[in-house]
Amino acid sequence: MDALVTNIRQRYETALETIARHALRSGRRPEQVQLVVVTKAQPQEVVHAALEAGVRLLGENYPEEALSKINVFGGQYPVEWHMIGHIQSRKARLVAGHFSLVHSVDRLKIARKLSALAEAQGSKQKVLLEFNIGGEASKSGWLAHDRASWEALLPELEVVTALPGLQVCGLMTMPPLMTDPEAARGYFRLLRQLRDWLAQRFPATDWHELSMGTSGDYPVAVEEGATLVRIGQAIVGPRLPKSH
């Protein structure tokens, strides 16, 4: 356990230093970027080691798995949990009210469900809206790879931003998988430009968060304006194979 904690701490601190360097390079302050350590499919001992290593912001993809970890560690550490994975409608009740921020609101149906559930709890759920800026059929999110399509998004987004149980805080994306991080720069830049465009059209909504960048390309994402980067295996090691 001690060796695991040490290894995770070293990789975590290296990632923080890299984030700080690239933030400064782009004229930003390092504290403007938060590091979400992704622990999906990681056993509880790895989550425990990450928390012992000083990690305080964890990202999970699967609601049941996340809730089991929250139940074990939520009362032991001052940790903030984020939901970053695709949400099935039937599992929305496992998400609302359990996460500080939901990154992956990718359609009107799930936005309405989360809003209704949060309202029933007497709260507001903080969320990011997920956009598909690569145009890939396999990716979730509102299609936004073509600027000419942005205007058509407005009626639905107007409904989402007005939902009483949600507090929209910004945007999220997952660009196409690239071997060269520089190849992702244009996608990150497009998301930032979309954010700025939406901020002009919905000035009453807070659009400041940009969740983009993972282990292979997060330095570029930071340079293009990311406020949240999601790093998993580069910090906590390989994931366990799924048992089903």
Confidence class for position 240, pLDDT limits 50, 70, 90: low
Residue entry with tokens 């107007």: 158
pLDDT digits (tens, 9 = 90+) for 107-138: 999 999 999 999 999 999 999 999 999 999 98
pLDDT digits (tens, 9 = 90+) for 17-40: 999 999 999 999 999 999 999 999
Confidence class for position 242, pLDDT limits 50, 70, 90: low
| pLDDT on residue 185 | 97
174 has a pLDDT exceeding 50: yes
pLDDT digits (tens, 9 = 90+) for 68-94: 999 999 889 999 999 999 999 999 999
| DSSP state at residue 141 | S
| pLDDT on residue 1 | 72
CATH superfamily of 2-236: Alanine racemase (3.20.20.10)
Domains of the chain by residue range: 2-236
| pLDDT on residue 244 | 40
User: What element of type H or E holds 132?
Assistant: strand 125-132
Residue entry with tokens 């996608």: 187
CA distance linking residue 181 with residue 187, whole number of Å: 11
